[in-house]
C-alpha cells in the first residue's frame, strides 16, 4: 500500500511539473520581445499582413484563451508550425530525434560497459594504483568539456591517423549507393534489420567519435557512483560470509555486490541520459550530426520561437518521465524507498 501511495505521489508530481513547464514555456514565448505574427509573414511584412497573421494565429485573443488553445493542441500532439520551415514541428522532430537518440544511446552503452566494471574494480581495490587511476579517469570524465574532447578526437583519429570519419551519420558514397531503409530512424538498428552490412559498418564507424565524446560525463559519473556503493556493500556481512564460504571473487564482485550496488548507478545513468540529450547539441554541431542539436541551433539563429519552446518542452518531458520511471523502479527494487 505504501509503495502504491509513493508511486501515485510521484505520478501527480510529474503531472504538476509538466503543467508548470507548459505554462512557463507559453509565458516566455509571449513575453520575449518579438512579434510572432511578423516572423510568420516573413521578411519585410506590411502592417496589413501582420494584422491578418495575428488573427490567423489567434494572437488577438486573451492570454488565457491562447494558453487553453495551446494546451488543447499539446494534448492532441500538435506542437505548432515552424516559422522557418513552415512544416509541423512534430514532423521535424520525428525526422531529427532518431539521430540524437542513436547518438545518446551509443554514448550511454559505452558508459555502462566501461564505467560500471571500472567502478566495481576501483571499489574492490580501494587504495591501489588501479583505484587511483580509475578515480583520475572519473574526475576527468566529469570535468572535461565534451565538445573539447570531440575536437581532440577529430584531430587525432581523423587528421593524424585517418582511422575514423570526421562527422555526419553516413559517408556520401554509402548514402547514395547503399542507403538505409528507414524503420526506426536508428541507422545501426535499421541497417542490421535490413541486412545492409555496408551501411552498418559505415554508420558504426561514424558514431564512434561523437559517442565517445558524449560518453565522458556518464562514464565518470558511473565510476564514482559504482565505486562508492561497492565499497559500502563489501562491508556487508553477507559478502564477508560469501568470501569465507569460498565463493569465487568474481562472483562476489559482479553478482552479489553489483546486484545491490547497481540501483543507485542506474538512477544516475538515467538522469545522465537526459543530460546527454541536451548536452548533445554542441557534439552534433562539431560532428555535423543531423539531430535535435542542429535543429534547435538553427531555430535559435532564425529566432524560431515555436521550435525553441517545443524542443524545450520535449526535453522536459523526457526528463520528467525518466525520473518518474527511475523513482518507480527504485521503489519496486528497494521497498525502503517508499517509506521516505
Lowest-confidence region among 46-55, 89-98, 100-109, 160-169: 46-55
Other residues' Cβ atoms within 10 Å of the Cβ of residue 60: 12
Report how far Cα 25 is from the mean position of its chain's Cα atoms. Answer: 20
Distance CA 147, CA 154 (A): 11
Specify the DSSP element, H or E, that contains 106: helix 89-124
Which stretches of 234-304 are DSSP H helices?
237-244, 249-251, 258-286, 292-301
Residues in the chain: 340
Note the pLDDT of residue 208: 94
The answer to whether 297 and 309 are in contact (CB under 8 A) is no
pTM: 0.81
Taking the C-alpha atoms of residue 326 and residue 269, their distance in angstroms, rounded to an integer, is: 10
Query: What does the pLDDT read at residue 36?
Result: 64
Top mean pLDDT of 21-35, 81-95, 203-217 is at 203-217
Q: Where are the domains of the chain?
A: 1-84+302-340, 94-301
Predicted confidence (pLDDT) per residue in 139-185, tens digit: 888 888 888 888 999 999 998 888 899 888 999 899 889 888 888 88
Res. 254: pLDDT tops 90: no
Which of 165-169, 233-237, 287-291, 332-336 shows the lowest per-residue confidence on average (mean pLDDT)? 332-336
Q: Provide the pLDDT confidence category of residue 335 given band limits of 50, 70 and 90.
A: low
SS (H, E, C) 115-157: HHHHHHHHHHCCCCHHHHHHHHHHHHHHHCCHHHHHHHHHHHH
Smallest CA-to-CA distance from 14 within 278, 336, 337, 319 is with 319
**What span, in angstroms and rounded, lies between the C-alpha atoms of 340 and 333?**
14
The rounded percent of the chain whose pLDDT value lies above 70 is: 87
At 128 the pLDDT is 86
Residue with grid cell 580501494, as numbered in its chain = 126
> In this structure, which CATH number among 3.40.50.20, 1.10.10.10, 2.60.40.10, 1.10.3720.10 belongs to the domain 94-301?
1.10.3720.10
Write the CB contacts of 181 (distance below 8 Å, at least 6 apart in sequence): 190, 194, 196
Q: What is the mean pLDDT of residues 60-81?
A: 77
pLDDT at position 40 over 80:
no
pLDDT digits (tens, 9 = 90+) for 202-228: 999 999 999 999 998 889 888 888 888
Amino acid at each position: 500500500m505504501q509503495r502504491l501511495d509513493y508511486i501515485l505521489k510521484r505520478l501527480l508530481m510529474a503531472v504538476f511539473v509538466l503543467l508548470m513547464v507548459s505554462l512557463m514555456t507559453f509565458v516566455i514565448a509571449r513575453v520575449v520581445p518579438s512579434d510572432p505574427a511578423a516572423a510568420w509573414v516573413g521578411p519585410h511584412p506590411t502592417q496589413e499582413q501582420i494584422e491578418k497573421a495575428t488573427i490567423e494565429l489567434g494572437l488577438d485573443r486573451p492570454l488565457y484563451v491562447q494558453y487553453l488553445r495551446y494546451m488543447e493542441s499539446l494534448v492532441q500532439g500538435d506542437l505548432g508550425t515552424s516559422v522557418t520551415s513552415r512544416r509541423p514541428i512534430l514532423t521535424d522532430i520525428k525526422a531529427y530525434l532518431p539521430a540524437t537518440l542513436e547518438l545518446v544511446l551509443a554514448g550511454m552503452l559505452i558508459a555502462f560497459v566501461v564505467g560500471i566494471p571500472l567502478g566495481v574494480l576501483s571499489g574492490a581495490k580501494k587504495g591501489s594504483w588501479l583505484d587511483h587511476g580509475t578515480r583520475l579517469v572519473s574526475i576527468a570524465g566529469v570535468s572535461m568539456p565534451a565538445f573539447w574532447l570531440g575536437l581532440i578526437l577529430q584531430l587525432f583519429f581523423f587528421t593524424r591517423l585517418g582511422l575514423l570519419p570526421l562527422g555526419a551519420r553516413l559517408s556520401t558514397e554509402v548514402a547514395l549507393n547503399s542507403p538505409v531503409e528507414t524503420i526506426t530512424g536508428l541507422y545501426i538498428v535499421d541497417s542490421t534489420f535490413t541486412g545492409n552490412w555496408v551501411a552498418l559498418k559505415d554508420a558504426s564507424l561514424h558514431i564512434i567519435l561523437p559517442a565517445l565524446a558524449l560518453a565522458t560525463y556518464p562514464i565518470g559519473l558511473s565510476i564514482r557512483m559504482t565505486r562508492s556503493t561497492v565499497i559500502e556493500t563489501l562491508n556487508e556481512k553477507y559478502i564477508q560470509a560469501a568470501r569465507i564460504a569460498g565463493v569465487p571473487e568474481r562472483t562476489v564482485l559482479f553478482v552479489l555486490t553489483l546486484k545491490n550496488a547497481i540501483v543507485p548507478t542506474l538512477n544516475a545513468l538515467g538522469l545522465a541520459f537526459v543530460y546527454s540529450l541536451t548536452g548533445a547539441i554542441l557534439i552534433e554541431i562539431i560532428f555535423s550530426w543531423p539531430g535535435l542539436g542542429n535543429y534547435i541551433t538553427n531555430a535559435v539563429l532564425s529566432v524560431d520561437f515555436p521550435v525553441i519552446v517545443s524542443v524545450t518542452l520535449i526535453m522536459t518531458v523526457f526528463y520528467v518521465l525518466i525520473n518518474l520511471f527511475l523513482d518507480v523502479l527504485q521503489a519496486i527494487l528497494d521497498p525502503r524507498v517508499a517509506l521516505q
